[in-house]
Amino acid sequence: MRAKLTLSASVVFLVAALFAFLSPELNDVSHSPETFAAETPTNSQVSEGLTCQCGCGLTVANCNMPTCGFSVPMRHDIDRMIGDGKTRAQIIAFYRHQYGEKVLSAPTTEGFNLLAWTMPFIALAVGGGLMLFAVGRWHSSAPVDSKPGAPPESFDPELRRKLEKELEERR
């Protein structure tokens, strides 16, 4: 039984690890230069990768404030950079250098951010393994052999005699 649980826990961990590392969300497609180098980006493609810094919490492309002091000028700058022949990756790298990682609409898969991407999957795998281990221990523990109506082994014979005497008196 224990071998089955160990095998099950190993399979769960392996599947979770494969999912975590092969997931398309982790392939950093949005930041690789070779992905968008061959095509001319549009303003919406670039501005979807950037978060507006006015406090609305939306991307630059979706900021719905008509007089936003951040997204409106940024859209004009993005159009100018596209006109200069810059790629999506170059424009995003420019703003990342200027404002830091907070301007990116999705975290990168580098450094500490890689841990943020993988920790939920690792936590699920570890939690599932612990649950399998606990359930396996509960099921594999042998039940206590006790005869119905028999006193427990640690029962004092003197107390048993007094109990039986009191029960006889009440009848």
Q: Are residues 68 and 116 in the same domain?
A: no
Q: What is the pLDDT of residue 121?
A: 93
The answer to whether position 155 is within a domain reads no
CATH number of the domain to which 104 belongs: 1.10.8.640
Asked whether the beta carbons of 64 and 7 are under 8 A apart, the reply is no
Q: Do 91 and 104 contact (CB within 8 A), yes or no? A: no
Question: How many domains are there within the chain?
Answer: 2
43 and 68 in a single domain? The answer is: yes
Q: Are residues 97 and 116 in the same domain?
A: no
Render pLDDT for 22-72 as a digit per residue (tens, 0 to 9).
655 555 444 444 444 457 889 889 999 999 999 898 999 999 888 899 999
pTM: 0.49
Write out the residue range of the structural domain in which residue 41 sits: 28-108
